[in-house]
């Protein structure tokens, strides 16, 4: 599978009322890298992610995907490269059956029917949801919906996978299945999450956002050991970091 890098140069974004959400973010994510984006509510995590496939356009600065600048003219190519999994899977699941939902993306890429069917099967098998193919999405559990939403993105064979709060609302078993799914993936992965223990298991690098700016960047074990940084950014150390206050080590 091909991978692609991501480069943000001076990325800034303001909401229509003028409120700044991102303030000059410079960031490079290498091809095949797994990056977590963490921060308190309102730090700019989702806003940053939405720029990676042109769902939002910068107020200033530039986004490049595999060397290609993200512009309105390049959106079709960018969106073939970047697969986006929304925080709420109901935003992605709208077809009568799970099979139809997963087939929607590759079908709209103009692929021949046998290739579409092969991709649907491979994607559903990858997330352990082949048995759900004939089910209606609205009849699925939260964890099943999340798996199917990821399958729908995987079926389009993206080089970059972007996930917004993928463990939100999952029970412990569903969260473990998600971690086991994400960890071996070879795509470039960018994951915005409040689940810092998931970050320790899945990502080799993490950035900490506060007020739309990068305040920390490095290996998760090192960044999460910086109590001063976490306190300034209104984050609690994950349970998986030795010496966490209030937790037996």
203 in a structural domain: yes
177 in a structural domain: yes
167 in a structural domain: yes
Work out the number of other CB atoms within 10 angstroms of the CB of residue 87: 16
102 in a structural domain: no
Residue 170 pLDDT class (50, 70, 90 cuts): confident
For the domain that residue 54 is a member of, what is the CATH number?
3.40.50.300
pLDDT at 45: 96
Choice between 247 and 127, residue whose per-residue pLDDT is larger: 127
173 in a structural domain: yes
109 in a structural domain: no
CB-CB contact of 9 with 65 (8 Å): no
Encode pLDDT of 175-206 as tens digits: 998 899 999 999 999 999 999 999 999 999 99
Say whether pLDDT at 1 is over 60. Answer: no
222 in a structural domain: yes
34 in a structural domain: yes
Residue 83 pLDDT class (50, 70, 90 cuts): very high
Over residues 20-32, the mean pLDDT reads 96
Residue 248 pLDDT class (50, 70, 90 cuts): very low
* Residue span of the structural domain in which 203 resides: 6-86+157-232
pLDDT at 243: 54
Over residues 19-43, the mean pLDDT reads 96
Domain count, the chain: 1
Over residues 54-83, the mean pLDDT reads 95
Residues 6+ apart with CB under 8 A from 225: 237, 241, 243
pLDDT at 169: 83
| Reported pTM | 0.91
Say whether pLDDT at 244 is over 80. Answer: no
CB-CB contact of 104 with 95 (8 Å): yes
CB-CB contact of 75 with 52 (8 Å): no
Rounded to whole angstroms, how far apart are CA atoms 169 and 171?
7
């Amino acid at each position: 599978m091909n991978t692609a890098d991501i480069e943000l140069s001076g990325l800034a974004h303001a909401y229509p009322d003028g409120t700044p959400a991102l303030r000059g973010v410079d960031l490079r994510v290498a091809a095949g890298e797994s990056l977590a984006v963490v921060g308190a509510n309102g730090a700019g995590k989702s806003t940053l992610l939405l720029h990676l496939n042109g769902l939002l356009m910068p107020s200033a600065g530039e986004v490049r995907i595999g060397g290609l600048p993200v512009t309105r003219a390049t959106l079709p190519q960018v969106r073939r490269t970047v697969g986006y999994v929304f925080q709420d899977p109901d935003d992605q699941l709208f077809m009568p059956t799970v099979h139809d939902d997963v087939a929607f993306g590759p079908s709209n890429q103009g692929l021949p029917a046998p290739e579409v069917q092969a991709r649907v099967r491979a994607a559903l098998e990858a997330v352990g949801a082949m048995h759900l193919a004939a089910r209606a999405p609205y009849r699925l559990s939260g964890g099943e919906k999340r798996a199917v939403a990821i399958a729908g993105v995987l079926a389009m064979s993206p080089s970059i996978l972007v996930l917004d709060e993928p463990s939100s609302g999952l029970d412990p078993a569903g969260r473990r299945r998600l971690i086991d799914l994400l960890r071996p993936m070879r795509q470039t992965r960018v994951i915005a999450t409040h689940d810092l223990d998931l970050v320790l298991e899945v990502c080799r690098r993490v950035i900490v956002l506060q007020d739309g700016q990068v305040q920390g960047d490095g290996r998760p074990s090192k960044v999460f050991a910086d109590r001063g940084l976490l306190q300034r950014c209104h984050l609690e150390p994950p349970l998986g970091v030795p010496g966490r206050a209030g937790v037996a080590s």
